[in-house]
Structure 1
Amino acid sequence: MKNNLQVNIGLAFLRISASAMILTHGYPKFQKLLSGDFEFGDPLGLGATPSLFLAIIGEFICPILVMIGFKTRWAALPTAITMAVAAFIVHAQDPFGNKEKALLFLTIFVTIMLLGPGKYSIDKK
C-alpha cells in the first residue's frame, strides 16, 4: 500500500490537473457571459441563459474551488453533474468518441467526491 505522502500528492495532482483541464472549457463560457452573449444550448429545457450559468458554475467556478481544495467534495458535484449532462443528454446520440471526454471528467470528479481533497488543500482532509 502506498504511504500517505504518495496518496496526498496523488490526490492533489488529480484535483489540480483535472480542474485545470476543465477550466479550458469553462473559461470561454465565462468570457461569453461577460461579453453579454447569452446564446447557449438548452439541454435541460431551462432556457439558454440558465443553462449557460449552470455550465459556468460546473466548468469554471467549481473547478477553481476543487483546484485549491476548498469545499472540495461539494464543489466536485456540480462539475460531475455538468459532465453527466454533457455525456448522457447533449451527446446522447453521438458515438462514444464524442462523449468520452465528458465521461472521463465525470469519472474523475466523482472520484474526487469519494476520496476528498487530501492533505494538500485548504480543506486538508
Structure 2
Amino acid sequence: MKTIKKNTDFGILILRVLVAGLLIFHGIGNLLNGYAFIKNMVVQSGLPEFMSYGAFIGEIVAPILIIIGYKERLASLFVALTMLVAILTTHTSEIFALNQFGGWAIELQAFYLFGALAIYFTGGGKYALSNK
C-alpha cells in the first residue's frame, strides 16, 4: 500500500481558504445589512460606534489577506480579536449553552476564533504571497 505524502503547506492553504472564505460570506451579509446590528451591539456595550467598522475589517479585509497569504499572521490575529469581541459583546450568555441541536451555541464563532489562531501560529505556509 502506498502511503500518502504529508503536505503541511497544502493543509495550511486549505485551512486559510476555509476559515477566511466562510468568514467573508458572513461579512458580506453584515455589509449588505449596513452593520446596523453590530453598531447597536457596540454602542450597547459602551464602546464608541466607530469601532463597529472593525467588524468590516475583521470579516472582509482580513479574510481576503488571509486567503491570498499576505500578512496572514497579522490578519488572522485581527480576525481572532474580532471574534473574541463578538463573543464577549454579543454571545456571552451562550458561552456555556447548547443550541437546539445539542451543539455548542457559539460553535461558529469559536470555529472562526480558533481557526484564525491556528493560522496565526502556523503562518501562511509555502503557498502564501508573503512567503519569503
Unaligned ranges ≥5, structure 1: none
Q: TM-score, normalised by structure 2?
A: 0.79
* Regions of 4+ moved over 3 Å: none
Alpha-carbon distance, 1:44 to partner? 4.3
Instruction: Show the 5 A alignment for 1:1-125.
Output: 6-33=7-34, 38=36, 40=39, 41-42=41-42, 44-48=45-49, 50-94=50-94, 95-96=97-98, 97-124=104-131
2:45 and 2:76 map into 1 onto residues whose CA distance is: 20
| 1:18-51 residue CA offsets vs partner (Å, 9 max, x unmatched) | 1110011111223344xxx756221642233x23
1:108 partner letter = G
In the superposition, the TM-score normalised over structure 1's length comes to 0.83
What is aligned with 2:101?
Answer: none
Q: How many residues align?
A: 119
Equivalent AA in structure 1 for residue 111 of structure 2: L
Change (3 A) 1:29 1:13: same
- Comparing 20-29 with 64-73, which one deviates more in the overlay? 20-29
Structure 2, gaps ≥5 residues long = 99-103
Flag the 1:13–1:57 CA change in 2: closer, same or farther, 3 A.
Answer: same
Gap change, CA 1:115 and 1:44, over 3 Å in 2:
farther
Aligned-residue identity in percent = 29
Give the drift of 1:103.
Answer: 1.0
Q: Secondary structure at the match of 1:19?
A: helix
Contact 1:71–1:123 (CA<8 Å) still a contact in 2? yes
* Cα distance in structure 2, aligned partners of 1:110 and 1:123: 18
Shift of 1:17: 1.1
